[in-house]
Structure 1
Amino acid sequence: MSILILGGTSDIGSEIATLTCDGQDVILAARRPEATRELADNLKARGATSVHTLAFDATAVNSHRELVTTARELAGDISLAVVAFGILGDQERAETDEAHAVEIATVDYTSQVSMLTVLADVLSHQSSTSTIVAFSSIAGWRARRANYVYGSTKAGLDAFCQGLSDALHGTNVTLIIARPGFVIGSMTTGMKPAPMSVYPHDVAAAVVNAYTTTTSAKSKSTTLWIPGRLRLLAWIMRIVPRPIWRKMPR
C-alpha cells in the first residue's frame, strides 16, 4: 500500500507526507519534481520504505489517469491519496485578465474535479480500503469581493466533493473534505492573517487524525472545519448583510 501526494511541493501535502510516511511507500507528484528532493530525503530519514517522484502538471487533465496508474505500478495499491495542489492567484489581476481568471479556475476547480474523479474510480476497484483527501476552504463558504475568483472555485469544489462523498458511500473508498481557514504558509506570504488562522502543520495534523480514525474504525467520509470553531464563524458569515459583506477583507 502506498501514499500519493498530488502537489508534492505544497506546504500541507508535505506535512501530511511527513506525518504518515513511516513504513510506507510514498509517491510525490509535483510540477517541479526536482523541488521535492529535500522532502524525499526527509521522508526516508523518517522511515518511509521508499519515495518516488513523478512530474505532474495539474492542468494536463488527460494525463491524470496515467499518472495514478504509474503511481500504482511503482508502489502498489494506494491507501491514501492527497489532492494538495492549487494556486491562490491574484484577484486584482484576474478582474482584468481573463486568462488569469481561467488559470485559477482550471487549477483550483477543473483539474481537481478531474483528479478526484480518476482517484475515486481507480481506488474503488482496489481490493483494499483507501482514503482520498480534498481541500475546500472557508473562502468558498461565501465568496467575498476581495477574493471571489478563488472563493468561487472552492465553493464549486466543495459542492462537487459533497456529491462525490455521497457517491462513494458504501464503497471501499472514504473522502475527507478539509475546510481550513486562512493558512499561514508559502501561498499567503506577505498577507495579513485572518481570525482563526492556522499553519500547514495544524491542517495536516487534523487531516491525519481523521484519516487514522477512518482507517481504524472503518468510518464514513467526513468534512473537517480546521480549526473546529471555524464552523461558528461560517454560520455568522451566512447572515452578514450584503452591503457589509462586500466590504469584507480577504
Structure 2
Amino acid sequence: MAPSSESDSLINATGNPSSLLLLGGTSDIALAIARRYARRGGLRVVLAARPGERRTAAAAELGTLGCQVSEVDLDARDHGSHAATIDAAFADGDIDVAVVAFGILGDTEQAWQDPELALELAEVNYAAPVHLGVLLSNRLKEQAHGVVVALSSVAGERVRRSNFVYGSSKAGFDGFYLGLGEALRGTGVRVLVVRPGFVKSKMTADLEVGPLAATPEEVAEATIEAVTAKRELIWVPTPMRFVMSGLRHVPRPLFRRLPI
C-alpha cells in the first residue's frame, strides 16, 4: 500500500486532521490538544478512557465545540481488552492523529516499597502503552498514514531518586515510541515524542510547582506545531531540552545531591 493518502496530505498541508484519537481521553493535555484542533472545524474525536463522569463531561464539551464525538472504553491494565479498544476506535474510519496520553504518577515513596503500586505504575505507564502502541501502529500501517503523538516526560531522560519508579516507566515508554518511529519509517506513519517538564494539571495538583513549569495548553500548542512541522521529538518548554542535556552528563555523586 502506498505510504500516502488524501487524509495524510491534509495534515501535512494544513495541519488540520479530520479525525483524532485520544488514548487517555480525560487527560488535561490530550483535551487541550483536542480543543485546539476543534477550533479549525470538521473534527471527529474518539475519546478512549474509562467510562465515568470525566469522560462524559469531556465528550459533552467537545460536542459544544462542534466535534463529532464517540466514546470508547479503555482499561490500561486489562490487556485482553486492548484489541477491542483499538477496533472500536477505528470503527468509524481512519484516524489521522492518535495521542497516547494516559498514565499515573502515584505516591513516589510508596511506589518503591509497595509491590502492587509499583506493578500498577509499570503496567499503566509502560506495558499498556507498548501493547496499545503495537495494536495502534498495525492499524495505521494498514491505512498507510497517520501520526502517533506519545506524551512522554523529561522524568524518563535521567531517572531521579525522588520519583524513580515513575521515571523508569516513562524511560521505557519514551524508548519504545522513539524506536517505533524508526520502525515505521517508509510506511506513511509518523511518531512524535513529546517530553514536557512539570505540567500544571490534575495529576500534579498536590505537588509543588517545578521549574520551567508549563500548562496543558502550552504543551498542546507546541505539540500541534510539531505535528504540522513533522517533528519527531520535542521538549516543552523548549529550554527544558538544554536543562536535560546538562543533567544527563552530571556525575552520579553530584547528581544525587541536586535538589530535584
TM-score computed with the length of structure 1 as normaliser = 0.91
Name the residue aligned to 1:45: 64
Aligned residue runs from structure 1 range 1-250, under 5 A: 1-21=18-38, 22-48=41-67, 50-73=68-91, 75-127=92-144, 129-214=145-230, 222-250=232-260
User: Cα 1:249–1:6, aligned 2, differ >3 Å: closer, same or farther?
Assistant: farther
1:42 deviation in Å?
2.0
Where in structure 2 are there 5+ consecutive unaligned residues? Answer: 1-17
1:174 partner SS: strand
For residue 132 of structure 1, give the secondary structure of its aligned residue in structure 2.
strand
Instruction: Give the whole-Å Cα distance in 2 for the aligned partners of 1:62 and 1:172.
Output: 28
Secondary structure at 2:243 match in 1 = helix
- Distance in structure 2 (CA, Å) of the matches to 1:204 and 1:238: 26
What is the CA RMSD across the aligned residues, in angstroms? Answer: 1.5
What SS does structure 1 have at the residue aligned with 2:228? helix
User: Structure 1 counterpart of 2:167, which letter?
Assistant: G
Contact map agreement 1:145 1:247 (CA 8 A) in 2: no
Q: Identity over aligned residues, as a percent?
A: 42
1:170 & 1:92 partners in 2: Cα distance?
43
Count of residue correspondences: 241
Following TM superposition, by how much is the alpha carbon of 1:105 offset from its aligned partner in structure 2, in angstroms? 0.7
CA distance in 2, matches of 1:249, 1:15: 31
Any idea what SS the aligned residue of 2:248 has? helix
Opposite residue 98 of structure 1, the aligned amino acid is P
Matched to 1:2, the amino acid is S
In structure 1, C-alpha distance between the alignment counterparts of 2:24 and 2:259, rounded to whole Å: 28
Secondary structure of the corresponding residue to residue 77 of structure 2: coil
Please give the secondary structure, in 2, of the residue aligned with 1:193: coil
